[in-house]
Amino acid sequence: MKFIKFFVLFVGLLMCGRLQADTLSISSPNGRIVVEVGIEKSIVWHANVGETQILDWSELALKVDGKWLGHNASLRSVNRSSVDRIEKPVVAVKSSTIRNHFNQLDLNFKEGFSVVFRVFDNGIAYHFTTNRKGDIQVDNEIVNLHFNKDYKVLFPEEESLQSHFERLYIEQPLTHLDSGRFCSLPALIKAENNIKIGITEADLFDYPCLFLESTGNKKLISKFPPVILESKKDGDRAIEILKESEYIAKTSGKRSFPWRVFMISEHDAELVENQMVYLLSRKNELAETSWIKPGLVAWDWWNDNNVYEVDFKSGLNNRTYKYFIDFAADYGIPYVMLDEGWSKTTTNVLEPNPEIDVEELVAYGKQKGVRLILWTLWGPLDEDMSAILDKFQKWGVAGVKVDFMTRADQYMVRFYERVAEACAKRQLFVDYHGAFKPSGLHVAYPNVLNYEGVKGLESYKLNGLIDPNHEVQICFTRMLAGPLDYTPGAMRNVHEEDFVKSYHNPMSKGTRCHQLAMYVIYDAPLQMLADSPTRYYANDESTRFISQMKTVWDDTKVLDAKVDEYIVMARRSGEDWYIGAITNSDARNLNIDLSFLNEGTYRMEVMEDGINASKAAMDFSHFTQSVSVDSKVEIKMASGGGWAAVIKK
């Protein structure tokens, strides 16, 4: 397979060591971040955080219909503006209000394009816009990032542009990555003076995803999947690419292109609070959204429908799913997922398998206040979208889980958009698996609740490659882009030395409280309970604690955090607060204060690693205490541990 890439050497520009003929400056509202943009033979930019330069002169350009926009361009006008307003998201992933505060620089060129920079107090973004009649062919885009020093990078390395985007993060100095190695996004740069730079994109529509490729030095350069001209099916869920184009997109000539996003923090806690992807994405396009109801989900696949101590044969059948529905109703869980296997075949999702009657299950769930979500492969949905979604709507299900896309070219990005729009028309929400990271679609179509795009709990079942270190790390990497369907909730908890991979009886590494805290820490409006209902019944204390959890939040505060090591997060829903903390393989004690509370006395319910959790990972201590705004709390975590609390007035 060939990949379109472009590497630019600033020979005339950088070798001479002089500033560009036209240089413009823009800073963040607080003045801490400063961007300079140079215009001569190329458009280049660099950035400082305080006295620290983080990016050296880095080129940007867009090749349209065979010509580079940005090379020898003639500046027509410059506009400056500032915005400071409050946004109210339909689905409050982190908070019910978001301050949108930035300074903007618009560079308008005679060749019919513009480059727009926005600088926030916590980051930088830029994108191209074009104003041409008819359609255009985008041959390539240069996103050339020249870092000031040989920083370390958390690099979600990919082996192919056909990927599930479920990667481990490799930490290497930039110069230790051989030329040609590449990653998906988000990636995280660890700069000097504790500065972190999270790199991703926003407002991605009708355009391929951005990847970053190493040059073997201090530069990362853009890489895009080209348009696929010919392919054939490879089994029920993959394709073999037979022919690719020399371009990356054909699209409207009058449009804005995706934002290139650089989240910047000097304190690790602030990095996790960043909401630039939301702020840079086009806003809600749905007229009616009251039907979109995020919540907890009882999920079947991870536990292999393995219920026991029952009088029926468990598996893909109505008796098993009624047991799931009964469990969900008992704990106030609003949804049950029917994953792969509910349909007659994976390619025929219009007909259930002989052991399942979806309409009967929907009716049974309705009596209990529980709704169903149905899984489907992307291929059949792509071929017969209206018929499949009409049937799902007729059956009365709440949403659809779309799986195994494993691509990020323009066609696939369009497919995500078509699914979101078609589902919204039928009041169905969407959970994307085998998917690239969130890039703004969930803002325009808030019925898109979750994306996978993460090496999640399923890895314990399939290969055992993850551990508590990874589970801490993804808070500072993958979660920067948006919601992640990690699917927590394992009730069989062991430490690394006791771990055994099991498909039918899976377990997790780390403590029970490590799993419980994930319900506070991970952004997921549609949050799974991955284990068997039988195990949840047997672990009633833990299950009742999980069942209190919200999946959308009025406020999020990261109380303490260190990339790769630990995170402590507080979330508010109404007047109630929820706190979660997880640590990597190191045991640690942390101290926090509750100064974010209002005046008055609160009851705090705590799930804490037990005194023997260092050996018996399922050991926990469950207690309550009175707290107030003046209280100090000690958080004790074993290796791979966690801590969680619910605070109510």
Q: Which amino acid is at 642?
A: G
> 3-class SS at 96?
coil
Token digits of residue 323? 């047991």
Q: At what angle do helices 358-368 and 385-395 cross, to 10 degrees?
A: 40
Distance CA 544, CA 345 (A): 36
Of 140, 162, 151, 126, residue with least CA distance to 222: 140
φ, ψ dihedrals at 180, nearest 5°: 100, -20
Strands 371-377 and 348-352: unpaired
Q: Which amino acid is at 407?
A: R
Distance CA 354, CA 565 (A): 49
Q: Which amino acid is at 554?
A: D
For the question of residue 300 being annotated catalytic, the response is no
Q: Which amino acid is at 287?
A: A
For the question of residue 390 being annotated catalytic, the response is no
Measured CA distances, 68 to 9, 17, 64 (Å): 15, 24, 6
Largest CA distance in the chain: 81
Distance CA 321, CA 29 (A): 54
CB neighbours of residue 9 within 10 Å: 12
How many residues would you count in the chain?
Answer: 649
Catalytic residue among 268, 300, 458, 608: 458
Rg, C-alpha atoms of the chain: 25
Report CA 277 to chain centroid distance, whole Å: 10
Respond yes or no on whether the N-terminal peptide bond of residue 258 is cis (omega within 30° of 0). no
- Output the DSSP codes for 463-525: T----HHHHHHTTTTGGGSS--------S-EE-GGG----SSS--EES-HHHHHHHHHHS--S
Of 160, 191, 155, residue with least CA distance to 52: 191
Of 272, 146, 271, 119, residue with least CA distance to 196: 271
The structure tokens 């780390």 sit at 510
Q: Which amino acid is at 48?
A: N
Of 527, 456, 553, residue with least CA distance to 97: 553
Q: Are 116 and 25 in contact (CB under 8 A)?
A: no
Catalytic residue among 56, 166, 403, 619: 403
Measured CA distances, 393 to 40, 350, 366, 373, 374 (Å): 56, 12, 14, 11, 11
Token digits of residue 262? 């650089």
Distance CA 146, CA 450 (A): 33
Catalytic residues: 403, 458
